[in-house]
Structure 1
Amino acid sequence: MSTDTENRLSVPDAAALLGTAIGQVQQVIVGQEHMVEQLMVGLLSKGHILLEGVPGTAKTLAVRTFATVVGGSFARIQFTPDLVPSDIVGTRVYSASKETFDVELGPVFTNFVLADEINRAPAKVQSAMLELMAEKQVSIAGTSHPVPDPFIVIATENPIESEGVYPLPEAQRDRFLLKVDVPYPKGNEELEILRRMSVRPPLAAPVLGPAQTEQLQDIASSVFVHNLVAEYIVRLVLATRDPAQFNMPDLTKVIQIGCSSRATLGLVSAARAVALIHGRDYVLPTDVQAVALDVMAHRLMLTFDAIADNVNPGQVVERVLAMVPAPTPVWNSQSQNARQTRGQQRRDPDTGRAAS
């Protein structure tokens, strides 16, 4: 027990290690700082990530590089309309020599699963992915097979494709902790891509491993969340369910279904991860605001009229963030005097030193 305590990383050391890992990924990926950081947030939060962007924005390359830096096993599955569940989770194969059926596990039994173009898969494959993401196990012939730990599904989808595409059901979208929009690179970043990738592309070096990853996840889960910050998170979620109570009556005609309780838990875990990445052992309201868009937007269901008016779920989340006040510490002379008085009372009257 004492050995585990001695080997446990401190918060500054964990933040430095995470910074090194993120830096290794950014040696290969030009720009896209938000996407790279959110990949690390998802890893620390033990949550799945959905990347949405047009082709050629380095989504697949970023995930592959991230898996190399973090360590552990990695598998890429290209989703197609003719895919069946046994192609990804495995099946039973008859062994003639033993005259029995052997279980052949599929490619999802790995630490990092890259589900490329996940919205191309039909409904049966999506249901298999739903069990995999929710339970971290698959059922083959009535037997459950757990996946290794740590385990994360990082899926990509193309927002402009409409042919041969099966939109993800709301239940499966809710399973993703984060949905990150991946934009085109800026002009200077495009020039750096040309300079860096037109010759021998750089390679990332491994920084972490499965054991270190689990330790960092434990540290992130123990980051302190004050009651005021927790109440702020709850108010953000409640504002999407009943916006009229939060002085936003116009949103009642925009939001059909608000965020689920997974959004509440997701905001807490993602904000803890952001705080750890920035070297803090406590969560600030700004940490919650930094992840609110990626945690909440894909969980909102807008009305038909709002969709017809081209209302973006991200705009709704930004409005909620603007209208729901965040907690702010207020220091006044009375509280300062009270703290000084308490500090004087704790001192030993004989030695003048702080009492134990």
Structure 2
Amino acid sequence: MGGLYLVKKWFLAEVLALHMLINISESALCLNVPDVVTMEQTSSATVTISSSSAVNQSTVIQLNVTFSSKNNYSSIITLPQQVLLPEKATSVNFTVLAHDVGQVTAHLLSNNTDLNRIRFIVIHSNVLSVVSQVIGWIYFLAWSVSFYPQAWENWRRKSVVGLNFDYLAFNLTGFIAYSVFNIGLFWIPYIKEEFLQKNPSGINPVNANDVFFSLHALLFCVIYVSQAALYERGGQTVSWTARLLLLIGWTFALISLFVAVAQKITWLEYLYYFSYIKLAVTLIKYVPQAYMNYRRQSTKGWSIGNVLLDFTGGVFSILQMIIQSYNNDEWKLVFGDPTKFGLGLFSVAFDIVFMTQHYCLYRQPQQYEAILEQQDD
């Protein structure tokens, strides 16, 4: 009888514990808050905290500041230390006052449980923010469309003579590396969390248009290579120098992969290695094409439309980063994505070289047809 009593007691205790766990699970808060709240200096914003269901009792939600771009976060914004979500309520509002440009990250806590995170960004001007977005789309479109003129030129001529194969090989490798970097930092949650831990300000340098651009560029690199395989190429091949450099780059990527798997470096660091590969490729990929133009004393086969659009994209890319940095008082934005900054800077430099070659050094003389005048006898 004593044993049966103990079994019953144990069973009732288990049922009670399970019931408590279910109640705790049901009462757990699931809050919806904006990820980012952006304000101008000396303005205010109303932030809404909403619950997926009405709470059974009044709940105190603490706002714990975990990052501030300045030593004292109160010099950037004023926000309450805690907010009360009343019983039976599904939402509550609180007001944030903006003072100076900067960034503050606050975690919402209830019963010592981390519920959510809000990033407050105070900028100089909303107008500048809109201008920055417009500029971003301009350079995105210019860079994206810049791949079409060369593909059209190759198709029209049914020839890739004048298009350097080392450039094609470097470009293909560069955009593979850039796509890996962008996809990882934009789409993989684990990598994004690593980035936020390393950069508490939470400024992810990769946007959706960066991902699309790199994948779109990679597609056209494949199209160029396909055209080089199908059309007249004048006996061109990828040089041994280019093959050696590409072998070094991909060997570095492979070794880094094993180092990351062994947890000697983080996966975020491994992704940044791909961005450095892209940057290195950008530094050298135009050299073979510029030298070929010099050796041939001609830019025929190398589309100037590609160059002009690439130049436009590079200039606007750098301009956007400067505007964003000023608007946020955060000049790390310029160097936070070395690939993006380097891509703009070095592309612009080489585009100037190509425009000089095309319009000044190797201008094709105007062709005239000889006209024979008949003289009267």
TM-score > 0.5 by shorter chain: no
Larger Rg: 2
Higher normalized helix content (fraction of residues): 2
Normalised TM-score (structure 1): 0.24
Q: For CA contacts below 8 A with separation 6 or more, give which structure has more relative contact order.
A: 1
Normalised TM-score (structure 2): 0.23
